[in-house]
A and B are shown apart, each in its own frame.
Chain A
Amino acid sequence: AQSVTQLGSHVSVSEGALVLLRCNYSSSVPPYLFWYVQYPNQGLQLLLKYTTGATLVKGINGFEAEFKKSETSFHLTKPSAHMSDAAEYFCAVSDRGTSYDKVIFGPGTSLSVIP
Chain B
Amino acid sequence: NAGVTQTPKFRILKIGQSMTLQCTQDMNHNYMYWYRQDPGMGLKLIYYSVGAGITDKGEVPNGYNVSRSTTEDFPLRLELAAPSQTSVYFCASSYSKGLYEQYFGPGTRLTVT
- By beta carbon, the residue of chain B nearest A42 is B106
Chain B residues near A32 (CB, 8 Å)? 98-99
| Segment at the interface with A among B42-50, B64-72, B79-87 | B42-50
The reply to whether the CB of A49 lies closer than 8 angstroms to some CB of chain B is yes
Chain A residues near B105 (CB, 8 Å)? 43
Chain A residues packing against B (C-beta within 8 Å): 9, 32, 34, 41-46, 49, 51, 90, 94, 99-103, 105-108
Q: Contacts A43-B90, A44-B90 given; indicate if A94 touches B42 (C-beta within 8 A).
A: no
Give a binary string over B81-113; 1 marks a CB under 8 Å from any A CB, 0 the rest.
Answer: 000000000101000011101101111000000
Q: A43-B105, A43-B106, A94-B98 are in contact. List 15 more A-B contacts (CB 8 A).
A: A32-B99, A34-B101, A45-B104, A51-B99, A90-B43, A94-B99, A100-B97, A100-B98, A101-B50, A101-B56, A101-B97, A102-B58, A105-B35, A107-B42, A108-B42
Query: Can you name 22 A-B residue pairings with CB atoms under 8 Å?
Result: A9-B40, A34-B101, A41-B106, A43-B92, A43-B104, A43-B106, A44-B90, A44-B104, A46-B102, A49-B101, A51-B99, A94-B97, A94-B98, A100-B97, A101-B31, A101-B48, A102-B58, A103-B45, A105-B43, A107-B41, A107-B42, A108-B40
The reply to whether the CB of B4 lies closer than 8 angstroms to some CB of chain A is yes
Complex-state Cα separation, A103 to B99, whole angstroms:
10
